[in-house]
Homo-oligomer: A and B are copies of this chain.
Amino acid sequence: MTETLSTPAAGELNAEGLLDAYRTMRTIRVFEERVHDEFATGEIPGFVHLYAGEEASATGVCSHLDARDSIASTHRGHGHCIAKGVDPVEMMAEIYGKRTGSCHGKGGSMHIADLSKGMLGANGIVGGGPPLICGTALAAKQQNNGGVGVAFFGDGASNQGTTLESLNLASVWNLPAIFVAENNGYAEATASTWSVAADNIADRAAGFGMPGVIVDGFDFFAVHEAAGEAISRAREGGGPTLIEVKFTRYFGHFEGDQQAYRADEVANARDKLDCLKRFRARVTESGQLESSALDTVDSEVAALIESAVTEAKAAPKPTGVDLETDVYVSY
């Protein structure tokens, strides 16, 4: 059932939708490049994994989602958060460990979440999200609200038992769940061509009774169309889909990774394949959007991230009174 989609038409997105999508991708990109720079100054603590290069996936999928829908993410979660509507200003503060952060500084980059937005959290455990999404999809089904759950996970995570058994459970229960395997070629320093014992992750779908689709992850429109199909099918009771999105991450596995395992694939991707460049070229060439409208978004995003960083740096840290609170709802 695995099929490769060629780049489709822009589909139902009108100018406003396109501009939103561009804004989301651009926000993710600038957010991540800024975190990369700030991390280098030593001011950002902990482990940080950047999503730059992969923006079309989170954006293409989440542009179909609304308040009924939920997503689960990974250690590389900033992009999914932004795409699902989490406030980048709070996110930046969280990454700096500040009390004003999305999680009051208790979570950090690997645990940004906003349940009120249906964002169930980045996740420090590879393969942690797919089981949870079986649950949010189940809740939507029980509540009969047409909602879906989307689990984003990496090529490395596609080998984790928790992920694989979730595919089966979602099929058995016929859940409105979408499994988005973001194949960026590597799990840490390990190539997915080595660790995934199949030509494609999407090839696993058949063994779990669901359609498997492969899309070019640098192409927002390809992701958007594949996700749209899967999501409408799920909303209508047609069950889960596995979508494999292929692309390259622009930075190391985590900030600090020397990347000795890589060839120079990033330069080529940035230059020739980049999702933002391609998006801009396509919508301006087709006349759907003016270049100037995109430029305006660029400056707005730049200003937003600038102020996010300024606010994050200025914000207070949590203090002793916060240490033992919020372990339980009731004590």
Residues of A within 8 A of B (CB): 159-165, 167-169, 171-172, 194-198, 203-210
Contact = CB atoms under 8 A, between A and B. Distances in A.
A210 B197 CA distance: 8
Chain B CB within 10 Å, residue with most, of A161, A196, A205 = A161
A213 B53 CA distance: 41
A197 B210 CA distance: 8
A172 to B, nearest CB: 5
A236 B167 CA distance: 33
Given A161-B162, A161-B164, A164-B164, A195 B172 contact: yes
B206 A198 contact: yes
A-B pairs with lowest CB-CB distance, top 10: A161-B161, A171-B197, A204-B207, A197-B209, A164-B164, A161-B165, A207-B207, A159-B168, A168-B197, A197-B208
B172 A165 contact: no
A285 B41 CA distance: 83
A160 B171 contact: no
Number of copies: 2
Given A161-B160, A161-B165, A165-B160, A198 B208 contact: yes
A79 B209 CA distance: 32
B194 A172 contact: yes
Contacts of A168: 159, 195-197
18 contacts: A161-B162, A161-B164, A161-B165, A164-B165, A168-B195, A168-B196, A168-B197, A171-B197, A172-B197, A197-B208, A197-B209, A203-B207, A204-B207, A204-B208, A205-B207, A206-B206, A206-B207, A207-B207
Contacts of A194: 172
A209 B210 CA distance: 18
Nearest to A196: B168
Contact of A159 (B162, B165, B205, B210): B165
Nearest to A171: B197
A164 B208 CA distance: 11
A167 B168 CA distance: 15
Contacts of A162: 161
> Which of A163, A194, A198, A203 gathers most chain B CB within 10 Å?
A198
A58 B172 CA distance: 29
Contacts of A160: 161, 165
A186 to B, nearest CB: 15
A237 to B, nearest CB: 16
Given A161-B165, A164-B165, A204-B207, 5 more contacts: A161-B161, A198-B206, A203-B207, A204-B204, A204-B208
A198 B204 CA distance: 11
Contacts of A206: 198, 203, 206-207
